[in-house]
């Protein structure tokens, strides 16, 4: 397993939304020391604490932070092709900040797996042997990545999704909750696999595949 930043380096969380809450809990479980949180919501109204950690202000607060002394955690969520998450990551990497990979203690990651900078592996996720997980990628709660899969950068595998063996996922792909990708499939850059879909063919770049629409059944009633 590759690690790019020492776990002893204190970290700052970016984002105080729903994904930020999960990343904060993940960082605590993984043994990191969290020194504060930044979020645009805190630019003008800054409480002293958010979920018991210091509020540092908006993203501009990072201008006063030495990137050699603090790592960063990307708490910006991703649904579909959310460019905000990877643009923030890329811009801060260029200024010298490092993003350590995070692995929840209840996840299982096979020895020898490559984890890029900023990878987040949530509770209950499984990564089998000889996988490559690109930078800033999320393997969300109870997701599964089987043997010999290769995931690019800025990918999000949503809760409960499963990649069977030897799946190749290019950059910025989103795979929805509960989706299944059968073995040997290739998914092109910026493609979206909808929740619950079973993908049995390659998917081209920037394409979206969705499941069957939900039909609402209204129960009939009879008059006595």
Residue 62 pLDDT exceeds 50: yes
Helix/strand/coil (H, E, C) string of 4-29? CCCCCCCEEEECCCHHHHHHHHHHHH
Helix or strand (DSSP H, E) at 143? none
Q: What is the pLDDT of residue 221?
A: 43
Per-domain residue ranges for the chain?
Answer: 11-94
Residue 59 CA to residue 88 CA, distance in Å, equals 10
On the 0-12 / 13-18 / 19+ scale of CB atoms within 10 A, 109 is: buried
Domain 11-94 is found in CATH 3.40.50.20: yes
Q: What is the pLDDT of residue 5?
A: 41
Residue 3 pLDDT exceeds 70: no
Q: How far is CA 102 from CA 190, 208, 218, in A?
A: 23, 29, 45
pLDDT digits (tens, 9 = 90+) for 111-150: 999 999 999 999 999 999 999 999 999 999 999 999 999 9
Share of the chain above pLDDT 70, in %: 89
pLDDT digits (tens, 9 = 90+) for 15-48: 999 999 999 999 999 999 999 999 998 988 778 9
Backbone phi, psi, residue 64, to 5°: -100, 5
Mean predicted lDDT score pLDDT of the chain: 91
pLDDT digits (tens, 9 = 90+) for 80-99: 666 889 999 999 999 999 99
Residue 214 pLDDT exceeds 80: no
pTM for the complete prediction?
Answer: 0.90
Kind of pairing between the strands at 11-14 and 108-109: unpaired
CA-nearest of 109, 21, 115 to 73 is 21
Residue 174 CA to residue 157 CA, distance in Å, equals 6
Residue 109 pLDDT exceeds 80: yes
SS3 content of the chain, % helix, strand, coil (to 5): 15, 25, 60
């Amino acid at each position: 397993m590759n690690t790019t930043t020492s776990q002893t380096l204190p970290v700052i969380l970016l984002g105080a939304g729903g994904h930020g809450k999960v990343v904060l809990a993940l960082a605590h479980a993984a043994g990191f020391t969290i020194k504060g949180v930044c979020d645009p919501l805190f630019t003008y109204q800054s409480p002293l604490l958010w979920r018991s950690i210091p509020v540092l202000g908006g993203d501009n607060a990072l201008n006063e932070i030495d990137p050699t002394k603090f790592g960063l955690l990307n708490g910006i969520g991703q649904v579909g092709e959310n460019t905000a998450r990877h643009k923030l990551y890329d811009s801060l990497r260029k200024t010298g900040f490092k993003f350590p990979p995070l692995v929840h203690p209840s996840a299982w990651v096979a020895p020898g797996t490559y984890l890029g900078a900023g990878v987040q592996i949530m509770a209950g996720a499984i990564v089998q042997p000889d996988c490559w997980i690109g930078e800033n990628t999320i393997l969300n709660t109870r997701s599964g990545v089987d043997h010999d899969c290769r995931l690019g950068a800025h990918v999000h595998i949503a809760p409960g999704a499963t990649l069977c063996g030897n799946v190749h996922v290019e950059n910025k792909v989103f795979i929805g909750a509960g989706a299944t990708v059968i073995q040997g499939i290739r998914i092109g850059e910026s493609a979206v696999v909808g929740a619950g879909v079973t993908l049995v063919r390659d998917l081209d770049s920037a394409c979206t595949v969705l499941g069957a629409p939900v039909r609402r059944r209204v129960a009939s009633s009879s008059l006595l």
